[in-house]
């Protein structure tokens, strides 16, 4: 059958179960193809993709270099178990580490941002021997077990099955929870609030603070200039790891490779996905600091995924990062 908007919509409504939705209320937009920042349907209607899909298609749709890399990898080796060494995986990890701060040397690959956060949490708990994870109320970290409970927004409430999570209010002067009158006061009061949460939850029980440097789904909330430095100082004071969730803000979205670069601070673990390959093939991961990496030289890491470092995803990462570098995408963001 010749595809039409009506046929595709019919197939979707008859057979597809959508995320975050009441299924009976849906009338999805049909997309047939795309190129660059434009999409179109089967009737020839054209759309500008202002949201870059789910804030991930940083290099645009159907970039020829990335498509070519996926095709070439498919003709060479379409899949390989994560226990083996593979050229595409090694090259992808190398490129990511080269863009990370000094003191990071290894990457654990996942299938998306949610399971990347899951595994960062697992690493933090193993490394510290502690259980609790602190995260912000204005946040979103994914829809898997611990990631959705680490999420602060109301979608976590029907999904609170994971243990060991507590939340705090992050700074947002426009709707301040601290009755602040300017950015400096908002920063100071937010940090004092976080200190009290740490003290009340028990510093010796907290493995990590999980934070989006610039929250995305919660509203693109740029923090006060010194807030992330203050969080880093609190983490260091109490022996808590700092995990930055760069899934949405990373790889050019803020005009730097990572959003935290704007604030002169570095975490212990960096979670990424989305923009690392513009979502062409599902991929995510954790960039691991040297101290934590060395810990797992002698201790078992109890985690793994069948498709960790999948060759097609890795080839798309290599091509995406190379194209972004050569075309000055980050510099022009």
The residues spanned by each domain of the chain are 5-50, 64-326
The count of residues in the chain is 333
The model's confidence at residue 92, banded by pLDDT at 50, 70 and 90, is: very high
pLDDT tens-place string over residues 204-243 = 999 999 999 999 999 999 999 999 999 999 999 999 999 9
The model's pTM is: 0.97
Q: Which residues of 98-130 are buried (b: 16+ CB within 10 A; e: fewer)?
A: ebbbeebebbbbbbbbbbbbbbbbbbbbbbbeb
CA–CA distance, 155 with 160 (Å, rounded to integer): 9
Q: By the 8 A CB rule, do 212 and 222 touch?
A: no
Q: Where are the alpha helices (DSSP H) in the chain?
A: 5-15, 52-55, 64-76, 87-99, 113-128, 145-150, 183-201, 227-238, 290-298, 311-326
Selection from 33, 148, 109, 147 nearest residue 277 by Cα: 109
pLDDT over threshold 90, residue 1 = no
pLDDT over threshold 90, residue 68 = yes
Q: List all residues 6 or more positions away from 51 whose beta carbon is below 8 Å from its beta carbon.
A: none
Q: By the 8 A CB rule, do 278 and 63 touch?
A: yes
CA–CA distance, 50 with 206 (Å, rounded to integer): 39
pLDDT tens-place string over residues 196-209 = 999 999 999 999 99
CA–CA distance, 132 with 301 (Å, rounded to integer): 18
CATH class of this structure's domain 64-326:
alpha beta
- The DSSP letter of residue 219 is T
Residue by residue, DSSP assigns 297-319 as HHS------TTTT-HHHHHHHHH
3-state secondary structure 190-205: HHHHHHHHHHHHCHHH
User: What is the pLDDT averaged over residues 157-170?
Assistant: 95
pLDDT tens-place string over residues 128-158 = 999 999 999 999 999 999 999 999 999 999 9
The model's confidence at residue 264, banded by pLDDT at 50, 70 and 90, is: very high
């Amino acid at each position: 059958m010749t595809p039409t908007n009506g046929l595709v919509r019919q197939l979707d409504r008859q057979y597809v179960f959508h995320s975050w939705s009441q299924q009976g209320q849906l009338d999805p937009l049909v997309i047939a193809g795309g190129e660059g920042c434009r999409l179109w349907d089967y009737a020839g209607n054209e759309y500008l993709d202002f949201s870059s899909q789910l804030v991930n298609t940083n290099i645009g749709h159907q970039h020829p270099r990335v498509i070519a890399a996926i095709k070439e990898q498919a003709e060479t080796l379409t899949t390989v178990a994560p226990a083996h060494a593979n050229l595409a995986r090694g090259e992808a990890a190398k490129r990511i580490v080269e863009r990370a701060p000094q003191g990071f040397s290894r990457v654990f690959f996942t299938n998306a941002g949610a399971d990347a956060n899951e595994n960062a949490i697992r690493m933090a708990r193993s490394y510290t021997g502690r259980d609790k994870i602190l995260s912000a109320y204005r946040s979103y970290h994914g829809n898997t077990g611990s990631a959705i409970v680490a999420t602060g927004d109301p979608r976590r409430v029907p999904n609170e099955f994971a243990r060991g999570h507590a939340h705090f209010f992050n700074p947002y002067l426009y709707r301040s929870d601290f009755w602040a009158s300017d950015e400096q006061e908002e920063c100071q009061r937010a940090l004092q609030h976080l200190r009290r949460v740490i003290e009340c939850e028990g510093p010796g029980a907290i493995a990590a603070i999980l934070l989006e440097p610039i929250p995305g789904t919660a509203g693109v909330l740029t923090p006060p200039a010194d807030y992330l430095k203050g969080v880093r100082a609190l983490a260091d004071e109490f022996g808590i790891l700092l995990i930055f969730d760069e899934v949405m803000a990373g790889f050019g979205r803020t005009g730097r490779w990572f959003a935290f670069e704007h604030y002169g601070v570095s975490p212990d673990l960096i979670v990424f996905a989305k923009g690392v390959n513009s979502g062409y093939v599902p991929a995510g991961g954790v960039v691991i600091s040297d101290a934590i990496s060395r810990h797992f030289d002698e201790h078992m890491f109890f985690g793994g995924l069948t498709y960790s470092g999948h060759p097609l995803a890795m080839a798309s990462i290599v091509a995406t990062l190379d194209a972004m570098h050569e075309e000055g995408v980050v510099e022009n963001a």
